[in-house]
Structure formats: C-alpha cells, structure tokens
Amino acid sequence: MSKTTHKKASKPKTGKPKTGTKSGTKAKASARTTAAVAKVGTKAKSKSSKAGKAGAAKPAGKSASRPAASSSKAKLPTKKVAAKAPTVTKSRTAIHKTAKPSSAEPVHAEAALEHTGPGLAVGSKVPPFQLPRDGGATVSLESFAGRKLVLFFYPRASTPGCTKEAMDFSRLSGAFAALGTDVLGISADPLRAQETFRDKHDLTVPLLSDEAHTVLETFDVWGDKSLYGKVFQGIIRTTVLIGPDGRVINIWRNVKVDGHAETVLKYIENL
C-alpha cells in the first residue's frame, strides 16, 4: 500500500519537471527568436535612421551651399562703368577751314586798342583840309560843299581787307552818286602806292594820301594797334559820313569789311 501510493505520488513529480523543461525550452526559444527579431528590427531601425539622417544631411548641405553661393554672388561688388564723355575729333579739313583767313580780312589781323583822342564827334563841324590824290591832283573839303561825303579810312593799300573795301565802294559809287553822295578813300600810303593800288584793282573812287597824318589825327583814326602782343601805331579802319553843311552825320569805327559799303549806302537811303 505504501509502495503503490509512493509510486503514484512520484509520477506526478517526475512528470511535471519534464513538462516544465519542455515549456521552458520552448519559452527560451521563443524568447531568443523574439530577441533576434528585435535585434534585426533595431538594426533596421538604426540603418533607416542613419540613412534618414544621411539623407537629411545631404539636402541640408546642398540647400546650405546654394544660399552661400548666392550670398557670395550677392556680396560681389558690381562694377559701375562710368559713361565716357564723347571724344570730339576734329578733322584736318575743319582745322584747315578754321585757320584759313577770309579774303575780306588781312592775313595778319590787327586789333585796334581803345583810344580817347580829341577826334570829331557826330554833329561836329569838319575843319577844312587838302590832300593829294592818285594822279597828282589836290582834293579839298570845299570841293564837296552842298553834297554828302563819305570818307573811308583804310590801314594800307593792296592788303586783302583794304582791297575788298575799296572795290566795294567803287562798285557802289554810282548808287552813292544817285543819292548826292561822293566817296573818298584815305590812307597814309604814298601816292605811288595809291596809284598801283588803283591800277591793279580798277578802282574808281579817289584815293587820298595823308603821309603827315594831319587829317588822320583830326578824325582820330590814327592810334595804337596790337599785333601778336606788340603795340604799334596805325590807321584804325573807320568811315565818316559828312553832311552837305560840313558836319559829321555818322561815324563807323573798327569797321568789319564784309557788307560795310552796303550798310553805309542803306544808311544814306534812310536819311
């Protein structure tokens, strides 16, 4: 009785440990499998996280580098190109035309200095005078009493400006005569120079010679002039209009030759 009971009682004891070992073994195996899966998942997660970080780092690096490049471009100083002033080039022909003297003026222009001599003014009575003219005859102011008289004083015979002036007055002498006006030219040249001047250019107006400067000084047309910085005395180109009563009607000083004879003629027409 006691043996049988002992054997029956011992069976459950021996059976339980066997069952426990199998279940424990299975539990351990499942635990290991779970751990292995967990490790694999962890590794996968870590790889994915690393890949994610790497992926996130690369775009960040690219995006960071692009603004840096743009910022570096923005910081580069822009070069401002200053507008160059247009260069004026003078052609040789233009310079030649500018330097070429006109046929109306002397090659070496002389400038008249300001003078305040006791010359005749408008309204003044002209004192009587006598001067020799081309051909040897003598001309006096009394010879033109009752007529208007134009006296044009020129610096030197046969110079370009004086030639044009004398030719213009000769060309218009008929128009002046129609207005009751005579025309005389006066300079300090000797009679021989006046006659050469007349013959060379077919001048028709009388040319008077005042080598002593008496009439020149009376009309205050002899004075200081300058040429290339040098001051000298000479005739200042002047025209005087005298009325029939022997008084000065008008005076043109420092005359410009071009169109001057026409200007005097128009002035007389309007009297």
Q: What is the CATH number of domain 106-269?
A: 3.40.30.10
Pairing relationship of beta strands 181-187 and 207-209 according to DSSP bridges: parallel
Say if CB 227 and CB 134 are below 8 A apart.
Answer: no
Predicted confidence (pLDDT) per residue in 73-121, tens digit? 445 545 554 555 555 444 443 333 333 434 333 334 455 544 444 579 9
Q: What b/e readout covers 232-270, taking b as 16+ CB neighbours within 10 angstroms? A: eebbbbbbbbbbeebebbebbeebebbebbeebbeebee
What's the token pair of residue 49? 């996280």
SS3 41: helix
pLDDT value of residue 154: 98
Positive/negative CA dihedral, 145, 149, 153, 157: negative
- Is the pLDDT at 6 greater than 50, yes or no? no
Q: What is the mean pLDDT of the chain?
A: 75
DSSP string, 61-116: HHHHHHHHHHHHHHHSPPPP-PPPPPPP---HHHHHHHHSPPTTS-SS--EEPP--
Scanning the structure block, which residue is given the tokens 């002899």? 222
Q: What angle do CA 139, 144, 146 make, to 5 degrees?
A: 165
**Residues carrying an active site annotation:** 162
Specify the higher pLDDT residue, 106 or 222. 222
Domain boundaries, the chain: 1-72, 106-269
Measured distance CA(181)–CA(144) in Å, rounded = 9
Pairing relationship of beta strands 181-187 and 148-153 according to DSSP bridges: parallel
Predicted confidence (pLDDT) per residue in 21-39, tens digit? 444 445 455 556 555 545 5
- Which residues have C-beta within 8 Å of that of residue 210, sequence separation ≥ 6? 131, 186, 187, 188, 216
**% of residues, the chain, pLDDT over 90:** 54
Measured distance CA(194)–CA(202) in Å, rounded = 12
